[in-house]
Amino acid sequence: MSDTDHCVIVGASHAGAQVALNLSKAGWAGAITLLGEEPHLPYHRPPLSKDFLAGGKTLDQLHLRPQQHYDNAGVTLRLGERVIAVNRDSHTVTLASGASLAYDKLVFATGARVRRLPIDGESLPGVRYLRSAADIAAIQRELDEVKNVVVIGGGYIGLEAAATMRKLGRDVTVVEAADRVLQRVTSPTMSRFFTRVHEEEGVRIIVDTGVTRFTGTDRLAGVELASGEIVAAELAIVGIGVIPNVELAADAGLACSNGIDVDEYGATADPDVYACGDCAHGTNRLFASPLRLESVQNANDQGLCVAKAIAGDRKPYAAVPWFWSDQYDVKLQIAGLSQGYTSTQLRGDPDAGRSFALFYLDGDRLLAVDAINRPREFVAARQLLAADAAFDARKLADESIPLKECRR
Ligand code: FAD
């Protein structure tokens, strides 16, 4: 690497900013350009369905870092710039403006975009998605006219939006196609808990039901369900998952499966091209199969791993995944991945109150914990997961035994 080398990062959000701000610290002596399609300084995305949607924060308060930090780290930020092509032979990226930029190292941090619901009426004002600050601005412009909200999709983002809309005093219905909310991401116990909490807060939850049409003439009036019922709504928030932005990489001839395929250093098969964050499908040493995760932790940790690898300080990605969700007075904190669990153990009661921890095990190995208003269990479990310890499952259920003493 020389001081004339240039690292170009495509995508200016959690993952891209993390790479950019850590390159020099890791020893990269060359130039750094962070290209972002959105016109804003990189900002925290999680508040979009929480405080920011509730109107409690301005976009300035959401910035990951002030402009000064990028300047100090030697990062040239080019915002409002969309990359439309990558040519690996000539080592160049082409911008929508027609300009092109040469790179020595390239990072895809292009994230993910919402999965759309292409049914009749989707283009009516009042049908909204939740991914960017611009999406929230569009919702907020219409909110004064809204009494009834239908949230389509009972995943974390849909449920957070439902909680925020209740906080704002709107009547809220959640419609979920699967037979329980959070079906794709968590266990039946957690689905039952969140269903109870939302119903206690006055949300109507409809499961096992698809949506067939948005009704209304010049703006949204209702959401038609597969059952034939039309639920009145001046606002529909669609939260049915995301699609990783892999097209640029795929068009440049890079392998993509459930994301841009990368190794444990975040590198693609091209040694000059890396990927990290929501768009990357890669190896985490703690897991047997490659993964694509959608979380701030993953974007940050994988971004750091990529920055170091580019600067020559290669360390394999091996981070315990963690995630959180805020709904009403409930803070869910998840450590680990529960897929493949063979048994669970509970600390506390998910059917009463709002505080418990659910441990997921495979034999005597702890895979994950879902902690509801239990920060202590979450923090201890994160450490124990990193140590890959064997557990006495029965002790886990005993509130009087600290987690660390539940190891075999
Ligand atoms: P993204 O944040 O998707 O950013 C990618 C960026 O790249 C975007 O700004 C995009 O415009 C830009 N881009 C894409 N293509 C191009 C191109 N061709 N040229 C230039 N720029 C391009 N995670 C949690 O851990 N906890 C939470 O509570 C939580 N809540 C969330 C709530 C909401 C409403 C949303 C939307 C997400 C939430 N997440 C949460 C997920 C988390 O925000 C994402 O995992 C994280 O943003 C991923 O960061 P990223 O940088 O990989 O991708």
Going by CA atoms, what residue is nearest to atom 7 of ligand 1? 11
Q: Return the pLDDT at 388.
A: 79
Q: Return the pLDDT at 102.
A: 98
Going by CA atoms, what residue is nearest to atom 37 of ligand 1? 46
Q: Return the pLDDT at 28.
A: 97
Q: Return the pLDDT at 3.
A: 81
Going by CA atoms, what residue is nearest to atom 23 of ligand 1? 295
Contacts of 296 (CB under 8 A, 6+ apart): 14, 44, 45, 46
Does the structure show a pLDDT above 80 at 332? yes
Mean pLDDT, rounded, for 31-51: 97
Write out pLDDT tens, residues 186-205: 999 999 999 999 999 999 99
Atom of ligand 1 nearest to the CA of 325: 28
Going by CA atoms, what residue is nearest to atom 39 of ligand 1? 46
Q: Ligand 1: distance of its center to the CA of 200 in Å?
A: 31
The angle formed by the CA atoms of residues 271, 274 and 277, to the nearest 5 degrees, is 160
Going by CA atoms, what residue is nearest to atom 3 of ligand 1? 111
Write out pLDDT tens, residues 107-129: 999 999 999 999 999 999 999 99
Atom of ligand 1 nearest to the CA of 323: 25
Express the helix, strand and coil content of the chain in percent, nearest 5 each.
30, 30, 40
pLDDT tier for residue 316 given thresholds of 50, 70 and 90: very high
Which residue reads 């703006």 in tokens? Answer: 219
Q: Ligand 1: distance of its center to the CA of 16 in Å?
A: 10
The residue to mutate among 8, 9, 10, 13, having the most atoms of ligand 1 within 8 angstroms of its beta carbon, is 13
The residue to mutate among 296, 298, 317, having the most atoms of ligand 1 within 8 angstroms of its beta carbon, is 296
Q: In percent, how much of the chain has pLDDT > 90?
A: 92
Does the structure show a pLDDT above 90 at 387? no
Q: Ligand 1: distance of its center to the CA of 46 in Å?
A: 9
Atom of ligand 1 nearest to the CA of 17: 51
Write out pLDDT tens, residues 334-375: 999 999 999 999 999 999 999 999 999 999 999 999 999 999
Mean pLDDT, rounded, for 16-38: 98
| Rounded distance between C-alpha atoms, residue 175 and residue 183, angstroms | 13
Helix ranges (H only) for 124-251 are 133-142, 156-167, 188-200, 247-251
Q: Ligand 1: distance of its center to the CA of 296 in Å?
A: 8
Contacts of 164 (CB under 8 A, 6+ apart): 49, 50, 53, 54
Using CB distances shorter than 6 Å, the residues near ligand 1 are 10-16, 35-38, 45-46, 48-49, 82-83, 109-112, 130-131, 157, 245, 248, 277-278, 294-297, 299, 323-325
| Rounded distance between C-alpha atoms, residue 174 and residue 239, angstroms | 10
Going by CA atoms, what residue is nearest to atom 29 of ligand 1? 46
Q: Return the pLDDT at 331.
A: 98
Average pLDDT, the chain: 96
Does the structure show a pLDDT above 90 at 93? yes
Q: Return the pLDDT at 1.
A: 65
Q: Return the pLDDT at 2.
A: 75
pTM > 0.85: yes
pLDDT tier for residue 408 given thresholds of 50, 70 and 90: confident
Atom of ligand 1 nearest to the CA of 47: 32
